[in-house]
Homo-oligomer: A and B are copies of this chain.
Amino acid sequence: MDQVTVLAPATVANVVCGFDCLGFALEEPFDEITLRKIDKRDVRISHHDDFGLPTHPTKNVAGIALIAMLDSLNADFGFEVEITKRIKPGSGIGSSAASSCGAVFAANSLLGGRFSSNELIDFAMEGELAASGTKHADNLAPSIFGGFTLVRSAEPLDIISLEFPPLFATIIHPQIEIKTAEARAILPKDVPLRAAVRNWSNLGAFVAALAKGDYYLLSRSMEDLIIEPARKSLIPKFDELKAESLAAGALGGGISGSGPSVFMLSETIEIAQSTSSAMHSIYSTTGVDFNIYISSISPTGVRLAQ
């Protein structure tokens, strides 16, 4: 096999109470990435979309991740990469993670699966480092492992796949720009111990709720006294989105990654659709363009296209 196509879905990081460690994978939207093995040690990228992303391999997260993989093999071959992005860059739902994870997952398939999932994430983390200035895996982990993941440590990598019950996500992507660096700078360097205790109590409860399939506990645990209060002012109508989603029956939710997307989790597809309607009503009056996605949780993350 010299060519493979993979679907690399969007991912939601932080998940309200798990800042910088928790994430989950969506079924859609997803990028489509085709890799061909070539005889020359090179990475050639072409984009079939309108986002104007750089195609030079050292400027493109997929390219950076593939170069890291080829370097580790001291390879005498390379890859030709065609990327059709459907996850808009800067949306806060893991667009760069989809590119880099999709690319290394596809490459690993062409190489007969010689790399472990953790090794793939290590390669992809080189892309995240270039994109955001830090090595973080909270979008990469669900992209590669699927489902809900907890990154206990990024260096060395320690990723836990969490059990989870059926859940449906509704995601609104307001078409405004929030720079990750800006969203980081707005955060406090120090936090009150009391607030930190509350956050870790919530994260512990959230993980337990996933394992038990306890939707009400999941709902109560999606509370954040530290990150959300600092960042929510960057997102128009954030409080209304949350209040009306809860009123529509959603279990809870908040900022996806560093925004601007906002996600909500629901117990059923019907509630996820009601939540979508509520979000639509609120944003229709803002003059801000937006997309809304409804998706179940992907148990696999990146997968081979059928």
Contacts and interface: CB of A to CB of B under 8 A. Distances in A.
A162 to B, nearest CB: 6
Nearest to A206: B204
Given A187-B193, A191-B193, A220-B158, A18 B211 contact: no
A283 interface: no
A187 to B, nearest CB: 6
A230 to B, nearest CB: 10
Contacts of A201: 20-21, 150-153
Contacts of A208: 150, 160, 162, 207, 211
Residue of A150, A152, A212, A221 with highest tally of chain B CB at under 10 A:
A152
A208 B189 CA distance: 28
Contacts of A245: none
Contact of A205 (B160, B191, B199): B160
Contact of A217 (B160, B203, B205, B217): B160
A163 interface: yes
A203 B198 CA distance: 12
Contacts of A209: 160
A18 B204 contact: yes
Given A189-B192, A217-B160, A200 B21 contact: yes
Contacts of A192: 189-191
Contacts of A64: none
Interface residues on A, range: 35 or more
A293 interface: no
B189 A152 contact: no
Interface string A59-101: 0000000000000000000000000000000000000000000
A11 interface: no
Contacts of A112: none
Nearest to A151: B201
A282 to B, nearest CB: 29
Nearest to A160: B208
A205 to B, nearest CB: 4
A226 interface: yes
A299 B188 CA distance: 41
Nearest to A17: B200
A22 interface: yes
B207 A19 contact: no
A200 B150 CA distance: 10
A193 B193 contact: no
A16 to B, nearest CB: 12
Top-6 shortest CB links A-B: A200-B200, A196-B196, A21-B201, A211-B211, A152-B205, A190-B190
